[in-house]
Amino acid sequence: MILKQSSIVFLAIVSLFLQAFLLISLISFFIGIYNAYAAFAGGDPKLIAGHISSGIVISLIQIAPAIVGYFINYMLLKNKRVNDFALLKPALKFYAYLWLLFIPIGTILGAKLLTQLKKG
């Protein structure tokens, strides 16, 4: 698929914005873990499990836009003209390392994005 330069820029910005949900998702997950740790002193296992599960569910909901942004990025990296943008590659590398933290699916996606960045 051949894209115009203006549409490549637009898709790159949209994909970077959508992948920012990955960072928000990881922060939400760690906030849920922290809330469970804070509730640990109460001794109620249901409350602790509730905080952990709410952190997981919220992070999974927030990861959906990031996955869409990932696949837009993957399509853009196959286009060779995407290398013209100076900030795109470092931002994609940052997001690839963030994907590695999202175990287990994100680890595979992050490794795939890193290998795609290394090729291009």
Q: Give pLDDT, residue 10.
A: 87
The three-class DSSP label of residue 2 is: coil
Domain that holds residue 12: 5-119
pLDDT band at 42 (very low <50, low <70, confident <90, very high): confident
Q: Give pLDDT, residue 67.
A: 92
Average pLDDT over every residue of 94-114? 86
Q: How many structural domains comprise the chain?
A: 1
Most confident of 3-17, 21-35, 106-120: 21-35
Torsion from C-alpha of 85, 87, 105, 35, nearest 10 degrees: -150
Whether the predicted pLDDT of 43 surpasses 70: yes
The count of other CB atoms within 10 Å of the CB of residue 77 is 19
> What's the one-letter identity of residue 43?
G
> Tens digits of per-residue pLDDT, 65-94?
999 999 988 888 877 666 667 778 888 888
> What's the one-letter identity of residue 58?
I
Whether the predicted pLDDT of 116 surpasses 80: yes
pTM across the whole model: 0.79
Could you give the percent of the chain with pLDDT greater than 70? Answer: 92
Q: Mean of the per-residue pLDDT values for the chain? A: 85
